C-alpha cells in the first residue's frame, strides 16, 4: 500500500510540475500582451476587485476542500455524499454572498477605491457559484492524485485569456476584458472538471454530514482568513504609509519572485497535502513522505533563492526594466528568504492541515500578525529599504514560530528536518561564493548564472542527500510520461 501510494505521489508530482510549467509559460506571455494593450489603471481596477472576490471565494469554500482531501472516509459512497453536502453548502453560501454584493455593490466599490464601478463587482462575483463546484471537483482530483487528468483542465483555463481577454481588449473593452475573461475562464474550468470527474452533483443533503464537516472546517476557514489577512497586510501598510510608487515596487517585486517559485510550490503542495493526509495515522510513513517531498523541492528552491539574491540587480532590470532598480533589494531578499520559508514554513502548514489540526496553523498566523503589524508599520515610517529589511526579517520570525509549534504541539522531528536540509544550504552557500567571485570579476551575468548552476550540481555530488535527489530526479524523468 505504501509503495503504491509513493508511486502515485511520484507520478502526480511529475504531471503537476509539467502542468505548472506549461501554465506558467502561457499566463505570463498573455499578461505581457495585455500590458501592451491596456493601461495600468485597468489592472488596478481588476486587482482591487480580485481582493473582494478572493475573500468571497474563501468564505464560500468554507474550508470543505481541505476536509475532502484530509478526512478518512469509509468508502467512495461516503466520500461522494460528503462532496455533495459540501457543494450544496458552498453553492448556497456563494449565492448569498453574491446577493449581498448585488445589494451593496456601490458602497463596496467605494470602500475598495473603485467608486462608481459597483456593477463590475456584480459581474466579477458571478464566478462565485462556479467556484463552489470547481473547488469540490479539484479536491476530489487532488485526493486521488489525478494530476495527469488536471493537465488539460489547467491548460484550457490558461488559454482563455489568450482567446477571449486579448481580443476583447483589442476591440476596446478595457478592464471589462479582464473581468469577462476571468468569468469565462472559471466557466471553462467547471465544465471540463465536471466532464472528467466521476462524481456529479445530486440533490442529496445531510445535516449530520454537515455537522461533521463544520467541526473540522471552522478552524480551516479561520486559518484561511488569517492567511488572507497576512498576505494583504503588507500591501495595506505600504499603501497607507508610503507612496503609490513604493506600493508598486513592493507588489510587483514580490509578485515576480513568487511567480517563478510558484511553479514548484503549486506543483508539489497539493500532492504533499494529499499524501500526508493518507498517511496521517502512520508516523513513519508520514515523516518519510514529508522529507521525500521536502528534499525534492529544496534541491531547486534553495539554490534558486540564493541565485536571485546574487543577481538581483540584473534580474530586476532584465525582467522589469531599469525603472524598477530601486526594488532590486526587495527582489533579492524576498528570493533569499523564500529559499528558507518555502521548504520549512510552507510545508509546516501542510503538516498541521494533514494532521487535522488547522487551529495550529491559525495560531501561528495570529501570533505572527501580532509581531508583524507593529514592526512593518514602524519600518515603513522610516525608509523603504528599512521596510524591506524588516519584511525579510519577519519571514524568519514566521519560520521560528512554525518550527516551535511543529516541535512542541505536533512532536515533529525538527532537528531531523534541519539536518536533512543542511546539505542543500551548504551547496547553495558554496554556489553563492562562486557567484560573488564571478560578480567581482565582472563576468557577464548570464555566464555567471550558468557557472553557478554547474557549480551547484558539482557541489551536490559531495553530499549523499543531494546526490540521491539528483539521481532520483534523473531516473524519474527517464521513465515514459
Q: Is residue 32 predicted with pLDDT exceeding 70?
A: no
Within a domain: 307: yes
- 335 in the same domain as 223: yes
- 464 in the same domain as 419: yes
- The distance in angstroms from the start CA to the end CA of the chain is 22
Q: How many domains does the chain have?
A: 2
Within a domain: 28: yes
- 175 in the same domain as 293: no
Please tell me the predicted confidence (pLDDT) of residue 480: 44
For 426-437, how does the pLDDT look when each residue is reduced to its tens digit (9 = 90+)?
999 999 999 989
Alpha carbon distance 481, 477 (integer Å):
8
- 77 in the same domain as 23: yes
Within a domain: 213: no
Of 255, 328, 316, 326, nearest to 43 (Cα)?
255
Please tell me the predicted confidence (pLDDT) of residue 4: 61
At how many degrees (to 10) do helices 128-143 and 175-196 cross?
A: 40
Which SS3 state, helix, strand or coil, does residue 479 take? Answer: coil
Q: What does DSSP assign to residue 202? A: -
Q: Which residue matches cell numbers 498566523?
A: 365
- 224 in the same domain as 174: no
Domain boundary among 144, 171, 205: 205
For 288-343, how does the pLDDT look when each residue is reduced to its tens digit (9 = 90+)?
888 888 888 888 899 999 999 999 988 888 776 777 778 889 989 999 999 988 88
Within a domain: 260: yes
- 172 in the same domain as 254: no
376 in Cβ contact with 234 (< 8 Å): yes
297 in Cβ contact with 342 (< 8 Å): yes
Q: What is the mean pLDDT of residues 111-135?
A: 78
More confident of the two residues 309 and 33:
309
Within a domain: 210: no
Alpha carbon distance 255, 110 (integer Å):
26
Within a domain: 211: no
Q: How many CB atoms lie within 10 A of CB 243?
A: 11
Please tell me the predicted confidence (pLDDT) of residue 333: 92
Distances (CA, A) of 128 to 97, 103, 229: 8, 16, 20
- 289 in the same domain as 422: yes
Residues 6+ apart with CB under 8 A from 213: 64, 67, 82, 85, 86
Residue 274's domain spans which residues?
218-481
Alpha carbon distance 387, 69 (integer Å):
38
Amino acid at each position: 500500500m505504501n509503495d503504491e501510494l509513493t508511486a502515485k505521489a511520484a507520478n502526480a508530482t511529475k504531471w503537476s510540475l509539467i502542468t505548472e510549467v506549461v501554465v506558467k509559460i502561457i499566463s505570463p506571455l498573455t499578461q505581457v500582451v495585455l500590458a501592451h494593450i491596456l493601461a495600468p489603471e485597468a489592472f488596478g481596477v481588476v486587482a482591487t476587485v480580485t481582493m473582494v472576490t478572493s475573500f468571497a471565494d474563501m468564505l464560500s469554500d468554507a474550508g470543505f476542500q481541505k476536509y475532502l482531501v484530509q478526512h478518512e472516509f469509509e468508502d467512495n459512497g461516503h466520500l461522494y455524499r460528503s462532496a455533495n453536502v459540501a457543494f450544496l453548502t458552498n453553492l448556497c453560501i456563494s449565492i448569498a454572498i453574491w446577493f449581498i454584493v448585488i445589494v451593496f455593490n456601490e458602497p463596496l466599490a467605494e470602500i475598495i477605491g473603485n467608486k462608481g464601478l459597483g456593477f463590475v463587482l456584480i459581474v466579477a462575483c458571478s464566478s462565485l457559484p462556479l467556484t463552489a463546484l470547481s473547488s469540490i471537483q479539484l479536491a476530489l482530483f487532488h485526493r486521488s492524485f489525478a494530476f495527469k487528468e488536471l493537465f488539460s483542465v489547467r491548460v484550457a483555463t490558461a488559454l482563455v485569456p489568450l482567446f477571449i481577454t486579448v481580443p476583447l481588449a483589442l476591440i476596446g473593452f478595457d478592464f471589462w476584458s479582464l473581468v469577462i475573461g476571468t468569468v469565462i475562464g472559471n466557466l471553462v474550468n467547471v465544465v471540463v472538471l465536471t466532464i472528467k470527474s466521476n462524481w456529479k452533483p445530486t440533490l442529496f443533503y445531510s445535516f449530520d454530514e454537515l455537522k461533521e464537516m463544520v467541526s473540522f472546517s471552522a478552524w480551516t476557514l479561520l486559518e484561511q482568513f488569517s492567511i488572507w489577512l497576512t498576505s494583504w497586510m503588507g500591501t495595506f501598510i505600504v499603501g497607507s504609509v508610503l507612496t503609490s510608487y513604493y506600493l508598486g515596487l513592493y507588489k510587483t517585486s514580490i509578485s515576480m519572485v513568487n511567480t517563478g517559485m510558484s511553479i514548484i510550490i503549486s506543483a508539489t503542495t497539493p500532492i504533499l497535502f494529499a499524501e500526508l493526509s493518507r498517511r496521517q495515522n502512520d508516523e513513519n510513513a508520514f515523516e518519510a513522505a514529508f522529507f521525500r517531498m521536502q528534499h525534492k523541492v529544496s534541491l531547486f528552491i534553495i539554490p534558486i533563492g540564493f541565485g536571485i539574491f546574487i543577481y538581483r540587480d540584473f534580474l530586476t532590470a532584465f525582467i522589469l526594466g531599469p525603472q524598477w532598480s530601486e526594488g532590486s533589494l526587495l527582489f533579492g531578499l524576498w528570493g533569499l528568504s523564500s529559499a528558507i520559508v518555502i521548504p520549512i514554513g510552507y510545508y509546516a502548514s501542510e503538516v498541521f492541515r494533514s494532521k487535522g489540526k488547522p487551529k495550529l496553523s491559525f495560531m501561528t498566523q495570529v501570533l505572527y500578525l501580532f509581531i508583524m503589524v507593529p514592526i512593518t508599520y514602524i519600518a515603513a515610517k522610516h525608509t523603504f529599504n528599512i521596510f524591506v529589511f524588516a519584511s525579510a526579517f519577519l519571514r524568519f520570525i514566521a519560520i521560528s514560530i512554525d518550527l516551535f509549534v511543529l516541535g512542541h504541539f505536533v512532536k515533529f522531528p525538527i532537528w531531523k528536518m534541519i539536518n536533512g536540509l543542511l546539505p542543500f544550504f551548504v551547496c547553495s552557500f558554496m554556489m553563492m561564493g562562486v557567484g560573488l567571485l564571478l560578480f567581482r570579476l565582472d563576468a557577464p551575468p548570464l555566464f555567471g548564472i550558468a557557472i553557478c548552476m554547474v557549480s551547484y550540481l558539482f557541489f551536490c555530488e559531495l553530499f549523499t542527500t543531494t546526490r540521491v535527489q539528483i539521481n532520483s530526479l534523473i531516473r524519474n524523468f527517464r521513465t515514459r510520461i
